[in-house]
Structure 1
Amino acid sequence: MDEVSRQPNLLRAILKDVWRNKQHFLLLVAAVVSAFCVVWTTHHTRMFVEQRESLMMSRDALNVEWRHLLIEQNALAEHSRVESIAKKRLDMHRPKIEEQVVITN
C-alpha cells in the first residue's frame, strides 16, 4: 500500500502543471477558440457566396424572361396586327367620310 500511495495522481499532476503555466494554457485555449471561429466564419461565407450566386442566376433568368415578354407584347400590340384582327374577327372597318361626324364646341 505504501507503494500505491507514493505514486503521484496523474490528474493532480496535470492540474498542477496547468496551474503553473496558466498563461500558456490560456493562449492554447484562445488559439483553439480562434481556429473554430475561423472555420465557422469560412463555412458561413461559402454558404452566403453560394446563395448569392444562385440569386444572381435567378435574376438573370428573370431578366431574360422579362425581355422575351416585352418583345412578345410589342409584337402583339403592332398596329397592323390589331387592325387585321379587328377586320377579320370583329368585322370592323374604317368609317367612310359620309359616316364621320365632326363635333365642335
Structure 2
Amino acid sequence: MQFELPIHNQLVVALYRDLKRYRGLLFFTVVAIASALTIIYQTHSYRELMGERESLLQERDQLDVEWRHLLVEQNALSEHSRIETIARNELGMNRPDEEQEVLVPWQ
C-alpha cells in the first residue's frame, strides 16, 4: 500500500524538487535582481550628488563675486589713505585741531 500525501504536501515536495533542480538559475536570478537594485541605488546617489555639486558651484560663484567686490572696496579704501599720506608728507598738510576748526552756521 502506497502512502499518499495531501495535495498541499505534494506541492511543497514538487516545489522543493524544482528549486533543487534549478538552484543555479535561482542563484543567478537573485544576483541579477541584487545587481539591478544596486544600479538603481547608485544612480539615485549620483543624481543627488550632482544636485549638491550644482548648488555648491553656485555658492562658489556667489562667493567669488562677493570677493571681487571686497577687493574693489579694499582698493578704494587704501587709495584714501594713500592720498592722506601724500598730503601729509609731500604737501605738508595736516588735519586742523579743534581750536582751528570754524563752524559755519546753517541757514
Question: Whole-Å Cα distance in 1 between the matches of residues 64 and 6 of structure 2?
Answer: 81
Matches within 5 A, 1:8-47: 8-9=8-9, 10-47=11-48
Which deviates further from its counterpart, 9-18 or 45-54? 9-18
Count of aligned residue pairs for this structure pair: 87
Question: Whole-Å Cα distance in 1 between the matches of residues 18 and 8 of structure 2?
Answer: 13
- 1:5 and 2:5 are equivalent in the alignment: yes
Match of 2:104 in 1: none
Question: Whole-Å Cα distance in 1 between the matches of residues 8 and 23 of structure 2?
Answer: 21
Question: Whole-Å Cα distance in 1 between the matches of residues 12 and 59 of structure 2?
Answer: 59
Match of 2:105 in 1: none
Give 1:50 deviation, angstroms.
1.2
* Uncovered stretches (5+) of structure 2, i.e. residues with no partner: 94-107
Deviations 1:5-36 (A, max 9, x none): 34242333222211111121111111111111
Match of 1:95 in 2: 92
Identical residues among aligned pairs (%): 38
Question: Whole-Å Cα distance in 2 between the matches of residues 30 and 62 of structure 1?
Answer: 47
Question: Whole-Å Cα distance in 2 between the matches of residues 12 and 50 of structure 1?
Answer: 52
DSSP-derived class of the 1:5 partner? coil
Which deviates further from its counterpart, 9-18 or 38-47? 9-18
Match of 1:75 in 2: 76
Match of 1:61 in 2: 62
TM-score, length-scaled by structure 1? 0.68
Q: Let me know the Cα RMSD of the aligned residues.
A: 2.7
Give 1:59 deviation, angstroms.
0.7
Deviations 1:54-85 (A, max 9, x none): 1111111110000000111111111xx3336x
TM-score, length-scaled by structure 2? 0.67
